[in-house]
Structure 1
């Protein structure tokens, strides 16, 4: 993304030049490039003109998926055992391999469309999701301390705390990454009556805009003094540059707290510069975002290391098929997975390590398996 292309964004996304000049810090951190030249440095307007990130399944490919499902069921194994070998997709598998490469080394996003949830039982639909996604990234990670492998994102106002949690709120949420997982994926079982679009933005584009106009904020983001409070208090950078790749990983709740996760008063708070950096990320992300009108049955895949995501607010209807219901997974590919910075390794090991419980809830998790985490006292 060139500086010239970025200019319309800069007016609202970053401080005026006169203000920036008074900062006196223009150098990028050691090892960070002046610009990232990669397919990952896209804008929503450029990607939306080229819809080939959506893989529309043909009738023959849907039949192939059904055949793979029936083949896997002959083994009598649990869904956790699904892999590309026992869920064979001779023709579609080649396209999924290409999509996996694009998610890891190309634009960092992909949508598989054409599966109709109403045509399958909940169990079969889940196995199809596991089987198809195994051709994108075969390792599936735990998503919380309870070992939930499938997280259900549905509206829940049964308690004030649940209603304010990202997972169960109907409100819009800001751009963020998941704590772990090279790839974050979700299956849309049903959509809301209104709203709820998936919205994503490129961390590479955000970096290029900041590097060209606010390198001082790049320095702030790369410092190791960001006081994260989830899942427990620790300090680390928001951005990393490792083996030629930019990695961004943060969430506002972990840094600022919210109603579902109030931040203890004794923990350090963000500096004014850190808040400015977060606001700049959000502003640039919104100025360059890609909105995807999700359909029931869609399987979304994004590169969680280089693509931010958020959700617009939504309103559910009365009918079951008008209530937003996503099923999320965290994935990693042995072939294409990126090298993980040491500051993030702990979360990756918890998610993808061999030890630890695994629970596969086909429907929204019971209360005992929905850990509304609290920051340490």
Structure 2
């Protein structure tokens, strides 16, 4: 097959937008108060997952514009100033769910299909096949999550490290097309992936890294850690030389400062990423010794964000 260059606003370079504030959305004092009022009205037992259950009179329309930017623009936004410092951990959970339901339909995570995941170091060994990436403090390679959009609300940053970085997977795709069209074709072929749900065959599945979309775009799904760990499957064939070379090239490009935009997430930052057109990674981090000061993020997944605006 002949792989073509993919146009559109989802193609951007960090070198071009890194000094811009266009991707940042700072909340006003009024917005912050609306969040606090909605959390208070919802009550501690709430799992507010509809806009009606978590009313945000002026912030709600802004979040709908954020959703449009995620779906039809550059594919990532950093909302700044969620008032986490004024809330308990339970209230932060309610706020994350409440803000999220204005973005899209909240999707379940993990075997229990929980609406929200706590991202913090649990001491899990990253080399173990069933360890999830959010359970340890080591470096995470650039990857995408398996839903339309992922959101990370920073409750507390680490003592040091834990920098988040995002890359336009469309820009990386186009660079592969430009420089190595032979490897670009490999990205559209089936690859083995690991669900990390156990040792049985159900833990492994095949999926191309790149899938054409009906609008002429491309959906890019990549996770090097989960591709490499799939090799533990008894029935999974070894990576081909072309696949190895393609992964080496992807890892080289995603680490290139031309492509990678780094963010030092602070308390109250809400990072939102379109998994179809953005890859994200994280540096290793070192935590504070006190449990109450350790790095803590809340993760949400969304579906339905890519639905055309006139059908939402």
Measured against the shorter chain, the TM-score band is 0.7 to 0.9
Counterpart pick for 2:287 among 316, 324, 331: 316
SS at match of 2:10: coil
Query: Is the CA contact (8 Å cut-off) linking 1:108 and 1:306 kept in structure 2?
Result: yes
TM-score, with length taken from structure 2: 0.88
For 1:311-350, list aligned pairs within 5 A.
311-320=282-291, 322-333=293-304, 336-337=306-307
1:272 aligns with 2:241: yes
Aligned partner of 1:38 in structure 2 is 8
Match of 2:210 among 223, 227, 239: 239
CA gap of 1:271–1:158, structure 2 versus 1, over 3 A, is: closer
1:143 corresponds, among 101, 109, 119, to 109
Matched with 2:30 is 60
Residue among 254, 265, 286 paired with 1:294: 265
2:169 pairs with 1:203: yes
Structure 2 unpaired stretches of 5+ = 197-202
Equivalent residue, structure 2, for 1:218? 184
Gaps of 5+ in 1: 1-28, 339-377
Q: After superposition, what is the alpha-carbon deviation per residue over 1:252-302, rounded to whole angstroms, capped at 9, x for unaligned?
A: 233211xxx771354211001101111111111111101011001211110
Task: Find the partner of 1:263 among 232, 255, 259.
Answer: 232
| Partner residue, 2:46 | 78
How many residues are matched? 298
Q: Does 1:228 align with 2:193?
A: yes
Which residues of 2 match residues 153-192 of structure 1 at below 5 A?
153-157=119-123, 161=128, 165-178=132-145, 180-192=146-158
* SS class of match (1:309): strand
3-state secondary structure, aligned to 2:22: helix
Runs of 4+ in structure 1 off by over 6 angstroms are: none
Larger fraction in strand? 2
> Does 2:83 match 1:116?
yes
Give the conservation status (yes or no) of the 8 Å contact 1:177–1:308.
yes
- Paired with 2:155 and 2:121, the residues of 1 have a C-alpha distance of 13
TM-score, normalised to structure 1's length?
Answer: 0.74
Q: Which residue number corresponds to residue 199 of structure 2?
A: none
For the pair shown, which has the larger CA radius of gyration, 1 or 2?
1
Rounded Cα–Cα distance in structure 1 between residues aligned with 2:75 and 2:124? 36
Q: By how many angstroms is 1:151 displaced?
A: 1.5
Change (3 A) 1:275 1:230: same
Instruction: Say whether the 8 Å CA contact 1:155–1:163 is kept in structure 2.
Output: no
Distance 1:67 1:166 in 2: 34
Residues 162/222 of structure 1: CA separation in 2 closer, same or farther (3 Å cut): closer
